[in-house]
Amino acid sequence: MQTANRERSEQDKLIFGFFQIPPALKSLNFCCYVIGAGASFFGTWMTQISLVWLVYQLTNSALLVGVSGFTNQASSLVLTPLAGVLLDRWNLRRVLLTTQIISILLSSTLLFLTVSNKITVEAIIIIGILQGTVKAFDLPARQVLIPRIIENKADTYSAIAFHSLIINTAKFASPMVAGLVIARSGASSCFLIDSVSYFSLISALLVIKINPVTNNSVTKKTAILKNLKEGFIYAYEFIPIKTVLILLSLVCFMAMTHINLMPIFAKEVLNGNAQTMGFLMTASALGSLTSGVYLVQRKRITGLGKIMARSTAITGLALIVFSHLDRLEICLIVIFIIGMNMTLTLASISNFIQLVIVEEDKRGRLTSLFTMGFLGILPIGNLFFGGLAHHIGVPNALAFGGICCVIGSYFFARQLPTLRKIVYPIYQKMGLMPPSYEG
């Protein structure tokens, strides 16, 4: 058996390098989905970057940049847990098709308002609230879908990791393109690209095969509020998920909010423009892409806890260093490190949660809690750091977030021995790890 596995591993190696083809890519079903998802993520990130720059261009206010970031995602904090319950009941294909169509309409509205010079901060905030509502259903639905479109259960980690890589690839390309497009033809072109990008995922959703869930009949008969309560109780009582969700909330609140401050940092600290912001966001996204490649190429599913602890600490230290810089060349290097380690933390948490979910009929609810931590906490952080930057300056706000990340990583690292004792038997039961493994 081991000989056969070694032979298969050798066959999977690419001819021109040392990378191995991720097992999930052998599924045509999965490949079709991630291509469509990657294109739509590209457009989404371009719109996000464009809106931040547009708000700052219209208002020249760090506080209003924070407010716009808050409204764009605040509804996720309230709606995402409810969305998780409904995703355990509803048809995922129909949910995702609906979210893509609504996203096209919202991006097209932004395009029309910008081209006709009728765009205002109030309009951006209203559309942002609607976009946040859509994301509350769209993002957890995408995560829940992944384990249900792969044929081999053992390829779950590979599929989740590669999906993260696709997201980070879109994050890498979109800031650079968005910065250049905004500088040359304005934000309206970004909104146009975003509107078109959703058709790729719509096409994929119409052809892929989604495996049905056979054990959710009880869930559908139970009251929604009871289902919601079950999800929260399960996450609270299951120590591994509770611990990583706390770390997720910390990183999203204290570190990820730095993205919203980049337009201000680019203009006030570096004396740059939209293209400068594009360079900074591209360097950060290149770091994210690097971390995505690393996670895809990892052969073991163990050790994710160590990655989370170390990458959170490095993210915090890098933010502290970044806050004291005023030269673009050095800033690009440091923000590359920030992007790489922040993504290592977030992607590892996402992979970890999907791997330890044993009860498939709770996947939607537990995934929605991750999305709530990711999208729900982030707008509060945007609002907080927008106000903090307004009073103490962007550099001091970034340094504060970095210090909190370092402290949080220390306390998380102390929980790792407990987490291993709980999750290793789960990995072994699912066939993701040999029974004799003690690492």
Q: Report DSSP state, residue 437.
A: -
| Separation CA 437–CA 439 (nearest Å) | 6
Tens of pLDDT along 339-394? 899 888 988 888 888 777 766 667 777 777 777 776 667 777 777 887 888 788 88
pLDDT digits (tens, 9 = 90+) for 172-225: 677 667 777 887 888 888 899 999 999 999 999 999 988 876 555 445 556 777
Dihedral in degrees, nearest 10, Cα atoms 312, 61, 134, 243:
20
The tens digit of pLDDT for each residue in 53-87 reads 788 788 877 677 767 767 766 676 677 777 777 88
What's the DSSP call for residue 301? S
Question: What distance in Å separates the CA atoms of residue 318 and residue 341, rounded to the nearest whole number?
Answer: 9
Contacts of 111 (CB under 8 A, 6+ apart): 188, 191, 192, 195
391 Cβ contact partners less than 8 Å away, ≥ 6 residues apart: none
Residue 13: DSSP 8-state? B
* pLDDT one-digit tens code per residue, 263-318: 778 887 888 877 787 788 778 878 877 887 888 777 677 788 899 999 999 999 99
Q: Where are the domains of the chain?
A: 24-210+224-429
Where would I find the H helices in 186-270?
187-207, 217-221, 224-237, 239-254, 258-264
Across 25-36, average pLDDT: 86
CATH number given to 24-210+224-429? 1.20.1250.20
Rounded to whole angstroms, the Cα distance separating 88 from 213 reads: 9
What's residue 439's pLDDT?
A: 45
Question: What confidence category does residue 113 fall into, taking pLDDT thresholds of 50, 70 and 90?
Answer: very high
Cα diameter, the chain? 66
Q: What is the pLDDT of residues 267-281, one digit of tens each?
A: 878 888 777 877 887
Q: What is the rounded CA–CA span in Å between residue 347 and residue 310?
A: 14
Measured distance CA(308)–CA(346) in Å, rounded: 8
Listed residue (164, 122, 94) closest to 351, CA to CA:
164
Report the alpha-carbon distance of residue 229 to residue 4 in Å, rounded.
Answer: 46
pTM of the predicted model as reported, rounded to 2 decimal places: 0.70
